[in-house]
Amino acid sequence: MVTKKLTLVQAINQALRHEMEKNPDMVLLGEDIGLDGGVFRTTEGLIDQFGDNRVVDTPLSESGIVGVAIGMAAYGLTPVVEIQFMGFLYGAMEQLISHAARLRTRTQGRYTCPIVVRSPYGGGIHAPELHSESTEALFIHTPGLKVVTPSTPAEAKGLLLSSIRDPDPVIFLEPARIYRAIKEEVPEGEYLIPLGKARTLMEGKDITLITWGAMVHPVLKAADRMAMEGVEAEVIDLRTLSPLDIETLLCSVKKTGRAVIVHEAPRSCGLGAEISALLCEEALDALEAPVLRVTGFDTPFPLPKMEKYYLPDVDQIVETIETVVGY
């Protein structure tokens, strides 16, 4: 397999280009995605290759963009929408929840809604208000929407191609913090990662660490530190947040007997709470300690000078692992 070392931004650009060459019905919609190449330059150069009929600069109207995409999908096109920041998605919630997510059930399976809504999410880039949101739970809680987030460039390409080919609406969340922070070898050409399947990044016998997106990287560093103390952690990257790969989670926790869930989203009613409840319902006999969470806070995401106090860091994760292991 031929590979090339890319950033996450470059991997997404490669995935979009690959699929647009393969699928003449695929259309991109979003603010400044044409001549400007998108707010993070993920669509750079695509308008030159595919023209402004397929790479469409839209007005500043998130509800309108998603609404048009739903109509395009119903008429057989494959629209991929870019929303500049996750905090701007709220303007399109009515379209996503009341229409995109319900089209399959509303028509008793006669129509589906194959759209992808891409958006950067999460903190760590010193952005102003509404630019660092991590409110994936809003979409996970909505039946009919799939929610996907990559943690590396290769993952971004494989998961995005699968999302575009999925027959139902997918919210594809791109961790803004690692858009250009890491590079890795990304397969050229066709490269698919199935949705709904988590990946085990490290195997261990003492504790299961469950996370996703940008938080994968501090969790891996915490697992390495614990290894020096003789604790073997199993690290799971969820990849698809809805539907959840329950089998992988239960299998791991039944082996290790302990679990810590790490996410930067607010704590209350976050995905960590759902996973914790799931483990208590389905794996209680195997648990040797309470399931703990390391999360953000139940506050609006802070302004740039305070964000380092909001985001979970390696020290917090290590401290929580030690608490669970020492229980």
Residues tagged active-site: 131
Side-chain-side CA neighbours of 60 within 13 Å: the count stands at 2
| Token pair in block for residue 108 | 């008793």
| Token pair in block for residue 176 | 């803004």
Name the DSSP letter for residue 236: E
Element (H or E) spanning 94, and its range? helix 93-98
Beta bridge partners of 119: 173
224 vs 5: CA distance, rounded Å: 24
CB 233 within 8 A of CB 321: yes
CA angle (33 as vertex; 29, 35 as ends), nearest 5: 130
Reported residue count of the chain is 327
| Token pair in block for residue 175 | 């961790």
In order of 150, 185, 246, the CA distances from 3 in angstroms are 18, 6, 31
